[in-house]
Amino acid sequence: MKSARWTGPMLASNAETLPQGHFYTEPYFYDVIVGGDHHPGSSGFYQYGLLNSLTVGVQPSFATGTNSLGHGATIGDFKLLSQVRLTHFTADHPVPTIAIVLNEVLPTGKDDRLRAGQEGHGSGSFATEVGINVQQYFLLKNGHLLRARINLLQSLPYGTHVSGRSVYGTDVGFSGHAKPGAKTTLIGAVEYSLTREWVLALDVIRESTRKTRLHGIDANGAPVERTFPAARDVGFAPAVEYNWSDRAGILLGVWVTPKGHNTPSSVTPAIAIQRFW
């Protein structure tokens, strides 16, 4: 097999950048299942090749679940994306593709001043993400291609003012400040080309979040101080890719996270449709 088409695995991001002047779209639709409760939503990547070695974009987030206030879509936190490619894999120069990532999380989700029964989304805090993406190709003895990725991402939240009911468990009348813990994400992924169109993919992900701290006063003026413990988990995400052209494909996968350190177990089936413009 001399070539293969790829959508990319479910979790690990591409180290390549887009050709200048081209767009890439990849909406995701998923359902996070925790303890029998379903939390459907949508995210994705919408990117533009500003230069051959610089890609920018946005990653929106929407929750489409239900709560006691009824049905409807809710906006979560958005990300502004940027990626600078440092090296580039070619057949004549088979070095790994390496890129530096710099993102900014925008607190567009509603995290506080919640009504009774209303679900909150997002942290309320701006956050800067810095990381590195690596990608390499391998030609196996059977003639099939294997593509491997490694992502390392560090998220550094700034903190936020919190009022009333919130995602931090505060109630009406609370006023204070929350400082979400820094988060480190490490992803390793492989993709195996069965045919030119069909690909099997597997991600392994480790997430580690430091303590989150909250302080302020409640409705009676009494001081409130809380520390949410650090958390760690390891998950995996097998997927199948089908690419009917060099410009379009679909991915079906499931992200499985066993119970971790201060994290519940979850299962997240997802579908993604990618298109290069």
The letter for the amino acid at 79 is K
How are the residues of the chain apportioned to helix, strand and coil, as percentages rounded to the nearest 5?
0, 60, 40
For residue 120, what pLDDT band results from cuts at 50, 70 and 90?
confident
The DSSP output letter for 173 is: T
Please give the sequence-ordered ranges of beta strands (E in DSSP) within 77-144, or none if there are none: 78-87, 97-106, 127-139
Confidence band for 2, pLDDT divided at 50, 70 and 90: low
Q: What is the pLDDT of residues 188-213, one digit of tens each?
A: 999 999 999 999 999 999 999 999 99
Which tens digit of pLDDT belongs to each residue from 161-178? 999 999 999 999 999 999
Say whether pLDDT at 69 is over 60. Answer: no
All structural domains of the chain: 23-276 (2.40.160.40)
pLDDT, averaged across the chain? 93
Global pTM value: 0.91
Name the H helices within 68-164: none
State the pLDDT at residue 111: 86
Amino acid 73: pLDDT: 73
170 φ, ψ to 5°? Answer: -80, 165
